[in-house]
Amino acid sequence: MFVCIIVPCTSIQEPLNRTLIDDEDEGRIWCIVHYSNSSSTILNKYTSISTVIHFACPFAINLISAFGIILLITKRRSALQENIPLHSHLQIQFREHKYLIISPIGLVLLALPRILLAFLVECMKSARESIYTFLFGYFISFLPPILLFIVFILPSDVYMKEFKRAINSYWRRLHCLCNEGIN
């Protein structure tokens, strides 16, 4: 609930400062964020900082949670099996739960184009053909949600087993429905 309130509040300045500009030379209408001169540097810095926070905080929370889970499991296993050294338990848990660490790192790597576009792209006079380069970069930023399967399911043995079980179950149901339709 806290996140649902804080995130929109940190971005409230953008919708309030959006304007439409009719570019007659290019034959387009642009929707841009335009801050008044008196507050432009402050709001630009604030927007940049909130973008970095929105990017870094989920990554940090995921990574800290992953290490916390691995350490808690290691401590419990070590308490139950005292004959095995703690570092051996830790290595075993890292191997078993590597997907908990790989996934947030993968999501950050996949989200890098979006954050780079947010800081590197500025308004410029451009030829019509260069719009495709910008659109390509923009659509690349949507890869993280699209690639969740690769980031979360494939590295995890547990999730992969469950995925295969679900696919087999759906396949059997589909096969039964097709056989009933033929008869």
Q: What is the pTM of this model?
A: 0.60
Name the pairing type of β-strands 28-33 and 18-23. Answer: antiparallel
Q: How far is 163 from 24, CA to CA, in rounded Å?
A: 52
Residues near 79 by beta carbon (within 8 Å), at least 6 away in sequence: none
Q: Provide the angle, in degrees to the nearest 10, between the axes of the packed helices 40-80 and 99-120.
A: 170
**Average pLDDT, rounded, for the chain:** 80
Nearest to 90 by CA among 67, 120, 63: 67
Report pLDDT digits (tens) over 131-173. 677 677 667 666 666 677 777 777 778 888 998 999 999 999 9
Residues β-bridged to residue 31:
20
